[in-house]
Amino acid sequence: MKPMYILFAPVLALMLWGCGDAPVSEPVIAGGALQLRSVDLPDPSATRALGATQLDKIGVYVTDYSHAALTRNAQSVYTLQNGTWSSVAPPEITVTNSSTPDRLYAFFPSDLSVANSGVGNHSVPVQVVADNFTASRQTNYLYATPLTALATSRAVTFTMNHALAKVSFRVLKSANVQEALTLKKIELLSSTNRLQTGMSGTMNLTSGALNGLASTNSITLEGSVELSTLQSNPNVSALVAPMSASETRLSFRLTVEVTEADGSTTARSFETAVVNAVQWKAGFHYVYFITVDKMGGSLTNVKIDAWKSDANQNTGIGI
């Protein structure tokens, strides 16, 4: 969201797009079990506006300093219940040498299987598909900034990050149009194949980088939204893989159903002007404003916000 403002937005008890407003009590666990104080997002206030899927479970993976998985409970699931994070089979942190601490990783969804890498590039499988209008078809993948732990310092807080980008549209009907207009489809068009999808990808648990996806020149978002002349917030949102590089010729093709006064309907499609060079990045939210009439549409503005602000993005729009 799948749905982190899953760092895409958040909510207490940890909203996948947001989290960590109130302090979470630290569990009291005997022995050397890893203790999880809380799970946070870098800027929960910035992601609160986008809606949320509750984040109450995360997967945790622990290796020794040389990247070998612990022999017992290397992978575990921590669950938030009554304000406390705990695991039925927590990893044991026994190392005492501060020069060679154990390495800690976390991810969402919690049920993904970790593939160990002897050089630290541990990963989990991901699938990136064409999302719908409500960002609910695509799983929202999160990863934590890696941590270390010792037997004497094993109570930690994970900060989760988005591996995907979020793209939203605020689509308006022109005031000159009397007929009812229903948006049925938005095609994301990339002339240089910067879009990515795939059913056999991986997410690096250190960097969040997605690998093994296939480049494509288009992704189709489908849904049904009746358009209005008054629309203050985005009415279409989708999760997408980050672009592999800057796209110099990005545009959008919209399909709108026009309902005439006699009840008959006609489907019309049009393509917007090209957006200035842009590279959709993980953890960023891109909002495009489009005004539609029966024959076409115009891009009026573009905004990058919500998850993080990106001062380096070119926010100009071609008309």
More confident residue, 102 or 54: 102
> Are residues 196 and 148 part of one domain?
no
Q: Is residue 239 part of a domain?
A: yes
Residue 145 sits in a domain whose CATH number is 2.60.40
Residue 246 has pLDDT above 80, yes or no: yes
> Are residues 299 and 240 part of one domain?
yes
> Are residues 199 and 147 part of one domain?
no
Q: Is residue 115 part of a domain?
A: yes
* Residue 217 in tokens: 């020149």
Ranges 13-22, 90-99, 104-113, 287-296: which has the least confidence = 13-22
> Are residues 91 and 60 part of one domain?
yes
- CB contact at 8 A, 222 and 140: no
Q: Is residue 22 part of a domain?
A: no
* Residue 239 in tokens: 């999760």
| Whole-number pLDDT of residue 110 | 97
| Whole-number pLDDT of residue 48 | 36
Band (pLDDT 50/70/90 cuts) for residue 302 is low
| Whole-number pLDDT of residue 190 | 96
- CB contact at 8 A, 25 and 40: no
> Are residues 233 and 108 part of one domain?
no
Residue 219 sits in a domain whose CATH number is 2.60.40.2630
* Residue 246 in tokens: 């800057």
Which among 161, 260, 154, 250 is positioned nearest to 203, based on CA atoms?
Answer: 161
Ranges 101-115, 277-291, 294-308: which has the least confidence = 294-308
Q: What percentage of the chain exceeds 90 in pLDDT?
A: 66
Q: Is residue 313 part of a domain?
A: no
Band (pLDDT 50/70/90 cuts) for residue 270 is confident
Number of domains in the chain: 2
- Give tens-digit pLDDT for 175-197: 888 889 999 999 999 999 999 99
Band (pLDDT 50/70/90 cuts) for residue 300 is low
Which among 170, 163, 313 is positioned nearest to 252, based on CA atoms?
Answer: 170
More confident residue, 201 or 302: 201
* Residue 129 in tokens: 């598909």
> Are residues 268 and 179 part of one domain?
yes
> Are residues 247 and 189 part of one domain?
yes
> Are residues 171 and 147 part of one domain?
no
Name the residue range of residue 209's domain. 165-306
- Give tens-digit pLDDT for 273-293: 888 889 999 999 999 999 887
| Whole-number pLDDT of residue 310 | 36
| Whole-number pLDDT of residue 275 | 84
Query: What average pLDDT does this structure show over 113-118?
Result: 97
| Whole-number pLDDT of residue 313 | 34
- CB contact at 8 A, 41 and 19: yes
Query: What average pLDDT does this structure show over 164-183?
Result: 91
Q: Is residue 275 part of a domain?
A: yes
Q: Is residue 182 part of a domain?
A: yes
Dihedral angle sign, alpha carbons of residues 293, 296, 299, 300: negative
> Are residues 289 and 170 part of one domain?
yes
Q: Is residue 266 part of a domain?
A: yes
Mean pLDDT computed over every residue of the chain: 83
Which among 149, 121, 153, 164 is positioned nearest to 2, based on CA atoms?
Answer: 164
Query: What average pLDDT does this structure show over 233-255?
Result: 94
> Are residues 271 and 169 part of one domain?
yes
- CB contact at 8 A, 204 and 158: no
The 3-state secondary structure of the chain, one letter per residue: CCCCCCCCCECCCCECCECCCCCCCCCCCCCCECEEEEEECCCHHHHHHHCCCECCEEEEEEECCCCCECCCCCEEEEEEECCEEECCCCCECCCCCCCCCEEEEEEECCCCCCECCCCCCCEEEEEECCCECECCCCCCCEEECCEEEECCECEEEEEEEECCEEEEEEEEECCCCCCEEEEEEEEEEECCCCEEEEEEEEEECCCCCEECCEEECEEEEEEEEECCCCCCCCCEEEEECCCCCCECCEEEEEEEEEECCCCCEEEEEEECCCECCECCCCCCEEEEEEEECCCCEEEEEEEEECCCCCCCCCCCECC
> Are residues 158 and 48 part of one domain?
yes
> Are residues 158 and 228 part of one domain?
no
Q: Is residue 27 part of a domain?
A: no
Q: Is the peptide bond before 109 cis (omega within 30 degrees of 0)?
A: yes
- Give tens-digit pLDDT for 7-55: 333 322 333 333 333 334 444 445 799 999 999 876 554 333 333 446 8
